[in-house]
Amino acid sequence: MTNSQFSSSVLFYLNGSRRVIDDVDLDMTLLQYLRSTGMTSVKLGCGEGGCGACTVMVSSYDTATNKPRHYAANACLFPLYAVDGLHIVTVEGLGTSSSPHQIQLRLASLHSFQCGFCTAGFVMSLYVLLRNNPQPSELEIEECFDGNLCRCTGYRPILDAAKTFAKDAWKSGSLIGPDGLVNVAQANGCGVKDCCQLQTNEFSLPEPAASRTNGAGCCRGGSAKLGCCKSATVNGAEAEKIEAMKQFRPYDETQEPIFPPFLARYARGETTDEHCRLALMIRNRRVDAQCKLFYRPLSLKQLLAIISEHPEAKIVAGSSEIGIEKTFKHSEFPVQVYVSDVPELRQVEEVAGGISFGANITLARFNSALQQLSEQHGLVKSQGFAALKNALKFFAGNQIRNVATLAGNIATASPISDLNPVLLATGAVLTLVSGSGAERQVPMSEFFLSYRRTALQPGEILRSVFVPFSRPYEIVRSFKQAKRKDDDIAIVTCGMRVRIDPKSRIVEEAAFGFGGMAPTTILAKEPAAACKGKTWGNSAVLKQMMAACQQELQLPYTVPGGMAEYRTALTCSFILKFWAISCFHLGIDCEEAKFVAEMDLDAEERALVKGQQAYDSVTDRMVVGKGVAHLSALKHTTGEARYVDDMPPVGDELHMAMVPSARAHARIVSIDSSQALAAPGVVKVLTSSDIPAANVWNIFHDEEILPTNTVHHMAQPVALVIARTRKQAQAGARLVQVEYEDLPAILTVQDAIAKESWFPEVRQLKNGDVDAAFASADVVLSGESYSPVQEHFYLETMGAIAVPKNEDGEIDLYASTQNPTEAQMVCAEVLGVPAARIVCHVKRMGGGFGGKESRSSLIAAFAALGAHHTKQSVRLMLDRDMDMMISGQRGSFLGRWTCAATRDGRLLGMRMHLFANGGFSHDLSLGVLDRAMSHVDNCFRFPATEIIGRICQTNTQSVTAFRGFGGPESMIICMSMLSELAQHLDMPFEQLQRINLYEPNDVTPFSQKLEGQDWNVPRMWDELSAEVQYDKLRREVDEFNACSRYRKRGLAIIPTKFGISFGVKHLNQGMALVHVYMDGSVLVAHGGTEMGQGLHTKMAQIAAETLQLPLSTIFISETATNTAANTSPTAASASSDLNGFAVYNACKKLADRLRPYREQMPNEPFSKIAKTAYLDRCDLSATGHYATPDIGFDWQTQQGQLFFYFTQGCAVAMVELDLLTGTHTALRTDIKMDVGRSLNKAIDIGQIEGAFTQGYGMYAMEEYLYSPKDGRLLTAGPGNYKIPSALDCPRELNISLLEPKEPNGLKTIFSSKGIGEPPLFLGASVYFALKDAVLAARKQMNVKQLLRLECPATPEVLRLACEDEIVEMTRVPKEQKQGMPFAVRI
């Protein structure tokens, strides 16, 4: 091929504007390009296509149909060189906050998001769906988000808002009903003709309604079917939805921008007189480039010529695999050939005996083709197609399926591939073609040679995949098990096929393909041999097959990937399922076929998420308490909200990367940075010797900024590399050579206890005579319970920008931190300058959850150190894996306990030893331990208690704050103890709990009285039990379990109380500064930071209420240490209390000063009043301060009040468990919370749902694993660490707020309560419902041993806990459990 046949320019459209890039950077992703051009809505959340924060719409022109095709893609993996001929649309291309798209408006108005970092990704996923299907079903809407993660909301409000676009759903005033469907019955508002709900206004997010107390309401007292929406009798949540939704307009797809006509002509080759579409050949001229030469052929002929010349070239299609290899493995592929524009590789055609699929067909198109083929050829011939389609249903997320290809999935030869086992089972045949054009056919069964090695020769490509038609009396099925059902890599996956003689039922053919059971995808020979020639449906054959499977596929205890027993059990479980399903469909009457409905879970249509939020309308206040939308909501949905890394560079800004330790515990022998300093772009390498002042930090000053002699955990930053680009800094960091001398490492809390590796502090709480209680008890039970590690997984990783002023040591610090004052102080101490020279600014964070309370100061110090040395702005943003390896997490707890009770379940005493894994330094672990000890009673009265706490020192990253701060950790230990006591007493768990609940005026183990007027747990327990009809639910669950063999349901109710106050007395203070400007606008600054929890919105509401001004006049710009000094961290669920009262006090001063002017000018606008006051030299600025009264607890004397009050709640959860796999579905959750008189009820509902979902993840999904071999974190990133997805949301989620019967007597701001952390423990309701289901399964199997269920209750834990014959058959014998396991929980 000649150079004239190639172009080196890439042409595409971005949000409707043409762009041409000459000599494109071959290493650059679309995300990097977009962000470099100011399109900062596209976020880097993970870099591996696992979170969806970078989702964009890609539009291409299909010349076969002469129509544009729209699909969602992950910009973080999409190569920039692949955009030629495409139209890229980001959220900026949809609308602005002043003129939003309907998607942006609806999601903003209905409280869909909190921190907003993930928001643009969700907007774009929904936008793509609507562009392809303007009237989608509710199910299609829910499933369009399967590639998007949110850590804040719990997903329900996102789904609710998105469902307003469902077919025939939109009406002015429509609602999402309790059934999860859009309810058009409310189209007439509250039922009164011409209700104000249906009045049409110009767009703006709705102001809160003015107070109405005349009883007539907005509709003149008419007969409303729900009561007037402004009346206290209506469900305020639904009324506020109507208020927001009246502004919506029907979605009109005809108003969307058309596909650029030029690109249509470009695709058809009709632009010869303009920019002509040619094959691409681009050389990367950067000396440090990973890709040196790139080709993009447009035909198979061109492709074959290229690979003939470059047989070593890396073939690239969707880049979903190569993108990860380049980012995380730093693999280099000097020559790359992009094949997604070769039409011959996408063709689907019928050939003799089956269908030939072009190997480079995307998985999304493959899925559509399978659906069409199944409909065209019917059930008999399409068994294999249906099995492949079923496998695709749970294959990654939409964004990945839209670009990943069939060839890519096969050729990467992953041993846990979703599709390869199914293709093996169907008898698929591959066609390979070489650069010379020679073709050869290779059966799938001969393609995989060894781990990641295939039969492909250099210079060969995979051209097509032949899948044969299934034949009569043949059944094909696929199965997959993962940690999370949707968008997750497989633990075990399989495809199974059997064909029988219809008369004799003799098996003629059988194939069982498995992934996850060997270094390659395999066909299991022994199970096939065990059934071939035998009668299908004979139970003896089933047993022989399972035994053969267990024998052939038994895994050793130390197998890579771990889970040896579970994986082997899954193979037998899948055989059992396949047996039942196939017998049923072949008309064979056998025992297992009777339970096919329980086995064939994938055949069921997913139930819609539904639910209701309930609270009374607020009528006695102007704005406080009302469900005002987050003040940044429209900025979130339009991409205008700015986070740290969205800030434009300052001057010749430099970038920083860290050199992570390669040891868990070792002495540093030497650090050689010479290679790094010689690398392109590297400016400086910093080590501990470059720190000008203090090299220690944190409260106990027991942690170095950079280590001098010893590293204490794997990935601990050893040195810092500063370079001109982020990529150069990271490349330079990999070149720094560190020599180590290994030291013994301790990872787990159990090992630390055994080796007595402690921090010195010991905490004790004693109350009553425990020994006497034990002596008088009917039952004394001992045991131990574990509370797991949990990763924060805020979507915005940690980051900071330090901008030196190069005068007097001043630095402006822009950080993603919950604690700007600590960041300021640490930087000042490190640099040896007064704190007044450092100003820390926090605009907003993309989530925090406690993870950015202390550890963020280290990142800020690194950036400041770099700015100090270079005199230039320095930016440090962590990649997801590095963030997870160094930033701390919720620490594990081990509780060793003994409890005593009477025969009827009355608790008498408890002795509890709590051991916290603190990591390698103190950080906040002592405070976490304090709160754990003060919450280990949960809501239950123990007349005598002895609680002792220790912190274990281990060689893991330092444990830090996480939402709940020790409370959820100790409460799960307490509840596990009580659950085991209930089993021992043969008493319903709910009964044991209810009879032991604290009553009003009882006293806690730390001697705090539960004031009668504010102790509401018994009331909430009884109200919630009545509302959900708990006794009826229990009967229904029991009846279901009696009739179901392979599925069991579980039910649980649990309470929580959470003390509100910092444990350290001096932190219980807040401050504010308020300015009234002469135009009547108001600027509020306060000490709290905004991380999505709506703090700024609540503060603005308090200011508006106090000043009696519209909310729109109040503005909060940022949190900064020069406007709010000496602030407490935004933590402990106390920030609304502390800063709210401070804002109130400042505004009260201003209101008092302005009162005379208002009285003199009663009918004048506030702008004129403010200017008049200014001209009269009235001070229009005020500070406010607040210190929480009455608190202060001395742990030595155990005297004083520890908490100002308690936020309380109860939850009921119902689940369904698949006993054969351990997969569960959260069927229903009902939560009732006491939040006092809420400052913003809608925001508080969002906090409840988000906290619950985070707790659900902690107790039932999220598994944090380390390698015992080297101390490496194995679950760094969304690929291995699984937080709940949108499709894990309970199918029914109902939230209600307890409405006070009388004033609660709280001396808090407007009698409200803190809400951020308290609901998290209620996620454990799902865990205990799962335990209830497992107990039902064990009862069926006549297992009588006490159940001690591990936490988190992952599918592996649940499956093995069922203790059936399959589990027993696949157990690894104790004598074989030798050697080091693959992974450990720490």
**Catalytic residue set:** 1317
Instruction: Please check whether residue 620 is in contact with residue 213, taking contact to mean a CB–CB distance below 8 angstroms.
Output: yes
Instruction: Please check whether residue 259 is in contact with residue 302, taking contact to mean a CB–CB distance below 8 angstroms.
Output: no
Instruction: Please check whether residue 357 is in contact with residue 400, taking contact to mean a CB–CB distance below 8 angstroms.
Output: no
**How is residue 467 written in tokens?**
């899948």
Q: Are strands 944-952 and 907-917 parallel, antiparallel or unpaired?
A: parallel
Instruction: Please check whether residue 263 is in contact with residue 271, taking contact to mean a CB–CB distance below 8 angstroms.
Output: no
How many whole angstroms separate alpha carbon 1237 and alpha carbon 1311? 5
**How is residue 801 written in tokens?**
């920008």
Q: H-helix or E-strand containing 1324?
A: helix 1324-1340
**How is residue 91 written in tokens?**
């959220």
How many whole angstroms separate alpha carbon 907 and alpha carbon 898? 12
Q: How many residues can be counted in the chain?
A: 1386
Strand partners, 430: 442, 465
Q: What is the DSSP letter of 76?
A: T
How many whole angstroms separate alpha carbon 971 and alpha carbon 1057? 10
DSSP line for 83-151:
GTT-EEE-GGGT--SSS--HHHHHHHHTT--SS-TTHHHHHHHHHHHHHH-SS--HHHHHHTTTT---S
Amino acid, single-letter form, for residue 939: C
- Phi and psi at 181, nearest 5°, equal -100, 155
Distances (CA, A) of 706 to 661, 688, 959: 11, 5, 18
Cα dihedral 1056, 1059, 1062, 1063 sign:
negative
What is the per-residue burial (b if ≥16 Cβ within 10 Å, else e) of 516-551?
Answer: bbbebbbbbebbbebbeebebbeeebbebbbebbbe
How many whole angstroms separate alpha carbon 1089 and alpha carbon 590? 63
Cα dihedral 1114, 1120, 1123, 1125 sign:
positive
Closest CA to 645 of 876, 880, 864, 884: 876
**C-beta neighbour count of 308 within 10 angstroms:** 14
DSSP line for 26-68:
TT-BHHHHHHHTT-TTS--S-SSSSS-TTEEEEEEEETTTTEE
How many whole angstroms separate alpha carbon 115 and alpha carbon 644? 13
Helices (H) and strands (E) in the chain, counts: 38, 54
Q: What is the DSSP letter of 1166?
A: H
Q: Where does 147-269 have alpha helices with state H?
A: 156-162, 236-245, 261-268
**C-beta neighbour count of 206 within 10 angstroms:** 18
Instruction: Please check whether residue 592 is in contact with residue 76, taking contact to mean a CB–CB distance below 8 angstroms.
Output: no
Strand partners, 949: 763, 914
How many whole angstroms separate alpha carbon 872 and alpha carbon 1010? 55
Omega of the bond prior to 1352 within 30 degrees of 0, cis?
yes
Closest CA to 384 of 348, 421, 415: 421
The radius of gyration computed from the CA coordinates of the chain, to the nearest angstrom, equals: 32
**How is residue 541 written in tokens?**
């054959």
